[in-house]
Amino acid sequence: MRNRLFAVISCLATLALGGCSKYVDIKTQGSLVPGQYQNYRYLLNNTSSFENGAYVGDLAADDIQLPDSSTQMLALNNGGDYYAYWLRSYSWQPQIYTPTGLYYQDYNWYNLYNSITYANVVITEVPNVTDATNDLKSELIAEALVHRADAYMQLVNTYAKPYIAATAATDLGVPLVLKETTTQPLVRASVQDVYNQVISDLTTALPNLPVTQIFNTLPSKPSAFGELARVYLYMNRYDSAAKYADSTLYYRSVLNDLSTLTTISSTTYPIRSKDPEVLISKIAYGGITAYTPYAFRLSDTLLSVLGTKDQRYNLFTTAAATISSTYTGRYFYKDRAMGEGRNIGPSVPEMLLIKAEYYARTGDAANAMVWVNKLRIKRFKTADYVALTATDANDALLKVIQEREREFFCRLLRWWDMRRLKSETRFQQTITRKVLGVTYTLDPNNNRYVFRISDYNIKLNPEIQQNP
């Protein structure tokens, strides 16, 4: 009997020991079990994880302007730490975020790397998914790659020098984090490496992307082509940019006709996620700007370029009184009119103007104007529309750049254009701003065309080299 009991005990003991390593190999429920296709599809459906982009460039760009010591400026100044980033960016200060202040975190960096982190989770983990076909898995990865490419493109154009072929290989870019990790050293890759990575991500993604998606928040083939066109433009490779613009336009070329509109709202004008012009929806973080005290007051230079007949003036801007009775001038209003953040992702108009710039830069002024006018005809009331003409290629280029100002003001690209064009003497300018009696200037060689990486993030990872 003892032997029998001993045998029972031994069996139970062996049972407890055997298969032990497998016993604890279960996953505790979060709400979804990692390893299933659905998790990653749902992750990629999470708009806010991927959509938020850079904001701070719009404050440094010359399309906004506050009168010195205006009510709005004083309010921003009195907001203490909370609005400090606004006036500091506006006056091109080296330090935007105080590491011990309440707002130590740089939300541009934070949100862009958030997209990258989410994308990296998908890219790293989807190959281990067991319940989906390779095609489905490849599509998930392709979508993630497009988001990641867009985020790196925004990062490199915020924290690194503009792309110049001669120096790109040595200019400091941003840390390239390409897989899920919490330990990789954050040494900054070169600008060239970042651009290479962006191009590689986009070209890798292209074959596996769907031609259409039901929402602009989800990457499709035209999203990737549009991103590529943008990337090559900012690398000053206009031919490639134009080719990719063509590819984009092959899939998506519809423009919104503003000629008949009197106001815009979410019922009269397509929302971002359904807007046929938007190739991939990206927004500057922080939502709608057109509220006190952080609303974008348009600069005199922009207003003079824009004119008052332009429907983009009538529909996308508003009189100061709409924001506050104590404000003056004209304010950016498109986001508030639509009740949603402003798109900063590649768009159909951007493709048209890339084509136009390509022709202007290759000396074909006539074709450049053809492409500019393809856009302009949708931007004026029929009665007000006048086709633009150019006297020569140089004039054509000037007009294309002006059209870009009109089309993209307060939507990131003006700052990027200021950065890429400052090396061309014909576009060089020195901007001055006055804040509470102090004058600030931004000359073409100013270090402040590149934002410094926040001191907080450098403190966390001292291997990150700071910008001058």
Partner 1 sequence: MLRLSIFIIAVQSVFCTTGFAQQKTTPQQKEAPIPLSKAIELIEKRFNTRFAFEHNLLEGKTTTAAALEGKTLPEILKNVLYPNNLLFLYVSENAYSIVARDSRFFQQGGASPAAPSLAEDVVIKQLAATHTLRGIVIDEKGAAMPFVSIWVKGTRRGSQTGERGDFTMPNLTTKDTLVFTYLGYNTESVAVNMGGTLTVQLYATNKGTLDEVTVVSNGLQQLPKERATGSFATMSSKDIAKTSSPNIVQRMEGQVPGVKINVLSGDRSFVYSSGNQLGINSGTHTVGNNDYGMSIRGTSTLLGESFPLVVVDGAITDLDISAFNPDDIENITFLKDAAAASIWGVRAANGVIVITTKKGKTSQAPAISFSMNAGVAAKPDLGYLRMMNSAQAVGYEAELVKRGFLTATNINGASYSTASYYPNFAAVLALKLQAGTITQAAYNASVDSLSKIDNTGQILQYLLKPATTQQYNLSVSGGNYNSNYYYSASYSRETPNAKRTIGERLTITLNNSWKLFKVATLTTSLKGAFFKYTNDGTGVNSLYPLTGSGVLLPYMQLVDNNGKSVSYDRINPDFTSTLSTKAFSNWQYNYIDELNNRDDIQKDNNYSANVNLNVPIYKGLSGSVQYSNEKTFSAHNVYYNPNTFYYRYTVNTYTPPTATTANGLGITSGGILSLVNTTVNNYALRGQLAYDKTIRQIHQLNVIAGSEIRQTDMAQSTESLYGYNPSTGISVPVSYTSSAYTSIYGYSTSLGGAPGQGEKIRRYLSYFSNAAYTFKGKYSLSASVRYDDYNNFGLDRKYRATPLWSAGGKWSIAQESFMQKVKWVNSLNLRATYGVNGNLSTSTYPYTAIYLNSTDPVTGLPSAGISSLANPELKWEMTYVTNIGLDYSLFNNRLSGGLDVYRKKGKDLLYSFPINPAYSGSIGGGYLTRNAATMKGNGIDLSINGVLINNKSFTWNMGLTFSYNVNTITDNRFDTSTISSTYTSVYPGSISYIAGYSTDKLLVFRNAGLDANGLTLTYDHLGNKVSATTPLVFSDLKNAGHKVAPYFGGFTNNIRYKQFTLYALMTYQFGGVFLRPSINNYITAYYTMNYSVSGDIAKRWQQSGDETKTNVPGLNGTATQVAYSLARYQNADVNVRSSDYIRLREISLNYEFPAMLVHSVFAKGASVGFSVRNLGLLWRANKDGYDPDFTSYPNGGYSLPAAKSYNFSFKLNF
Q: Any residues with CB less than 8 A from the CB of 139 and at least 6 apart, and which?
A: 208, 209, 210
Provide the 3-class DSSP secondary structure of residue 315: helix
Q: Which of 125, 139, 227, 405 is in the footprint of partner 1 by CB under 8 A? A: 125
Rounded to a whole number of angstroms, the minimum distance from the CB of residue 113 to partner 1 is 5
Confirm if 344 and 284 have CB atoms less than 8 A apart. yes
Over the window 60 to 99, marking each residue x when it contacts partner 1 by CB under 8 A and - when it does not, the resulting string is ---------------------x-----------------x
Nearer to partner 1, 7 or 436 (CB): 7
Rounded to a whole number of angstroms, the minimum distance from the CB of residue 411 to partner 1 is 18
Provide the 3-class DSSP secondary structure of residue 175: strand
| DSSP per-residue string spanning 120-153 | HHHHHHGGG--SS-HHHHHHHHHHHHHHHHHHHH
User: CA dihedral in degrees (187, 192, 198, 202; nearest 10)?
Assistant: -150
Binding to partner 1 (CB under 8 A): which residues in 406-465? 456-457, 459-461
Q: Is there binding between residue 130 and partner 1 (CB under 8 A)?
A: no
Distance CA 258, CA 315 (A): 8
Q: Which of 186, 199, 205, 315 is in the footprint of partner 1 by CB under 8 A? A: 186
- 221 token code pair: 């083939």
Nearer to partner 1, 425 or 462 (CB): 462
Q: Is there binding between residue 31 and partner 1 (CB under 8 A)?
A: yes
Confirm if 396 and 368 have CB atoms less than 8 A apart. yes
Q: Which of 77, 117, 367, 446 is in the footprint of partner 1 by CB under 8 A? A: 117
Rounded to a whole number of angstroms, the minimum distance from the CB of residue 335 to partner 1 is 14
Q: Is there binding between residue 58 and partner 1 (CB under 8 A)?
A: no
The DSSP symbol for 417 reads H
Q: Is there binding between residue 110 and partner 1 (CB under 8 A)?
A: yes
Nearer to partner 1, 120 or 311 (CB): 120
Q: Is there binding between residue 46 and partner 1 (CB under 8 A)?
A: yes
How many other CB atoms are found less than 10 A from the CB of residue 367?
16
Binding to partner 1 (CB under 8 A): which residues in 194-223? 214-215, 217-218
Q: Which of 28, 304, 325, 382 is in the footprint of partner 1 by CB under 8 A? A: 28
Q: Is there binding between residue 135 and partner 1 (CB under 8 A)?
A: no
As a residue count, the chain comes to 468
Considering only the stretches 34-42, 296-304, 354-362, 387-395, report the one whose residues sit in contact with partner 1 under the rule CB under 8 A. 34-42
Q: Is there binding between residue 29 and partner 1 (CB under 8 A)?
A: yes
Binding to partner 1 (CB under 8 A): which residues in 231-290? 272-273
Distance CA 276, CA 273 (A): 9
Burial class of 220 by CB neighbour count within 10 A (0 to 12, 13 to 18, 19+): buried
Nearest C-alpha neighbor of 405 from the set 357, 339, 449, 370: 357
Cis preceding linkage at 293, omega within 30: yes
Nearer to partner 1, 49 or 394 (CB): 49
Considering only the stretches 14-22, 298-306, 407-415, 422-430, report the one whose residues sit in contact with partner 1 under the rule CB under 8 A. 14-22
Considering only the stretches 63-71, 109-117, 163-171, 364-372, report the one whose residues sit in contact with partner 1 under the rule CB under 8 A. 109-117
Rounded to a whole number of angstroms, the minimum distance from the CB of residue 340 to partner 1 is 8
Considering only the stretches 104-112, 133-141, 388-396, 417-425, report the one whose residues sit in contact with partner 1 under the rule CB under 8 A. 104-112
Q: Is there binding between residue 121 and partner 1 (CB under 8 A)?
A: yes
Strands (E), 221-363: 283-284, 317-319, 330-332
Rounded to a whole number of angstroms, the minimum distance from the CB of residue 303 to partner 1 is 32
Q: Which residues pair with 175 in a beta bridge?
A: 188
Rounded to a whole number of angstroms, the minimum distance from the CB of residue 73 to partner 1 is 19
Helix axes 37-45, 107-125, angle to 10 degrees: 160
Identity at 56, one-letter amino acid code: V
Q: Is there binding between residue 102 and partner 1 (CB under 8 A)?
A: yes
